[in-house]
Amino acid sequence: MKTHWKKLIDHNFINEGDLDNGNIIATIKSVALEEVKNHQGKKVDLHVLRFQEPNIKPLILTAKINWSNIQIATGTPYIEEWVGKKIEIYYDPKVKFGSEVVGGVRIMPRAPILKLPEMTKNNPKFESMKTKLISKETTLEIVKKHCSLSAELEAELKQLINAK
């Protein structure tokens, strides 16, 4: 595995070097003003976004666009309501510092798109799900919120439901 040089600059917080394998989806744990060292080694107070996942480094929130995008992604402007919500972190190579293009870490202005597990006939939960659909304990719409169905399987399940 190769090491991006930016991983060496500030290994305590997320930077673009942490995103060389793609975007990160993280669950917000807290937002708080913390004392951190800036690039010159001087201690400054900055807002830090921490995550529930222990393997994801915290993110310093200095860019107003990231604050705004978190609000959009979580659906609320209140930081207390951000706790437990997921966000997607990505690298934007077009970020400028003054007139210089330096690249930077950004928050996606939408909730992350999470891939649902696919339901197949071989899945151990398939028969139970089918039984609940037939007995009207659940609906196809509810099932599709928890798993993805191929078009063929969905059509087959609809036929089964309408036959009963």
Residue-wise pLDDT for 32-52, tens only, equals: 999 999 878 899 999 999 999
Q: How far is CA 68 from the centre of its chain?
A: 16
Reading the block at residue 127, the tokens are 């028969």
How far apart CA 120 and CA 49 sit, in angstroms, is 38
How far apart CA 129 and CA 142 sit, in angstroms, is 11
Q: Does the structure show a pLDDT above 90 at 146?
A: no
How far apart CA 164 and CA 154 sit, in angstroms, is 16
Neighbouring CB atoms inside 10 A of 141's CB total 7
Model confidence pTM above 0.85: no
Give per-residue pLDDT as tens, 49-85.
999 999 999 999 999 999 999 999 999 999 999 999 9
Domain positions in the chain are: 5-107, 126-163
Q: How far is CA 18 from the centre of its chain?
A: 15
